[in-house]
Amino acid sequence: MQRTFARPLAQPAEPRVAVIGAGMAGLACAQQLLAAGLHPRVFERARVLGGRCGTRETEAGAFDHGAQDFHDAPGAFSEQLAYWIENGMAMDWRARVVDLDATGGVTRIAGARFVGVPSMQALADDLARGVDLVVDANVRRLVRDAQGQWFVEMRGLHGDVLDGPFETAIVAVAASQAVPLLAEVPALQTQAGAIDMTPVWTLLVAYPQHLPVPYDVALPDDDLIAWLARDSAKPGRPDGERWVVHAAPAWSAAQVDAAPEAVRAALFERFEHIARTAGRVPSFIAVHRWRYAIAMSGDPAPFWWDAKARLGVCGDWFGSPVGPGTIGQAYASGDALGLHAAHLMTDPLG
């Protein structure tokens, strides 16, 4: 099972594999399937790719409003990162990263942090090359017929529509979103339902002038804010002063259905206090809710695979038993599942 970094052009062919989700895991999986000649079709609920590697365009400029950066990791992801760096799609941020204690004391944190260039979404865009994509696809469920073939049921403007048949189905979304898609394989559905997912509220704020803040990334000792980053300080970004602030998971869970205006006010007030920017008037401010942001419990396996149903599951909640998933985990999970499915579908003895 040899890995590849080729980005072939799409070839006219009937798709054999349905992949639900065009985040890092789904696209990494699709690239391995495509390289094996299996012509995956990827369905994405949003209009843009990347999931939490996505970039939000605003009148104040672009914000990486999900994953801010990533670390190298051994194995397949390290090879992929080397490819991105060599081709100018990723760079070492060289950010000033600190821990902030409750009194404002600063402790520098060492270690390389990489970012996509010119945005985090560049990584997803690269993995999407040559892939048959269906965006803005409201997938309701996966249906398996009497012959064992898979169909993707989507909600359309004029009622539900089916796409298929597919020999194999791959689910590459957050665990909570995977649950209704796994109804045909109850054992996997139960396992996905046991994964604890929590939301994260995110504040996006821009200023007309540079802020005299002595760091680019801070992890404060705070019960409301978990992370703040000067998004505009990343390499390859346009001029400006743009910050991304992630709320703490516990606070986000308690406020999951709160009015966005109230969340925005609370996060901005605390950001001003932590960054000591009171009196500075922002030129742009908004919030975004990631409803299924972090898997507080995960699975140490790289992916799930049901051989009888020919259905696989991957995502950033694989590869670790606890804690928030990473871009590297998502990629490794999707890549490994893609190689596994491709081997079974192309090897006559598989």
Q: What residues are paired with 235 via a beta bridge?
A: none
pLDDT of residue 325: 72
Per-residue pLDDT at 181 exceeds 80: yes
CA distance 305 to 319: 14
Share of the chain above pLDDT 70, in %: 94
What is the average per-residue pLDDT within 253-260?
A: 97
CA distances from 203 to 98, 153, 247, 336 (A): 19, 34, 8, 34
pLDDT of residue 349: 59
Does 158 or 261 have the greater pLDDT score? 261
pLDDT in tens, 192-217: 999 999 999 999 999 999 999 999 99
pLDDT of residue 278: 87
pLDDT in tens, 28-68: 999 999 999 999 999 999 988 999 898 999 999 999 999 99
What is the average per-residue pLDDT within 274-293?
A: 94
pLDDT in tens, 113-127: 999 999 999 999 999
From its phi and psi, is residue 310 left (phi > 0), alpha (psi between -120 and 50) or beta?
left
pLDDT of residue 285: 98
Cα-based angle 64, 233, 213 (whole degrees, multiple of 5): 115
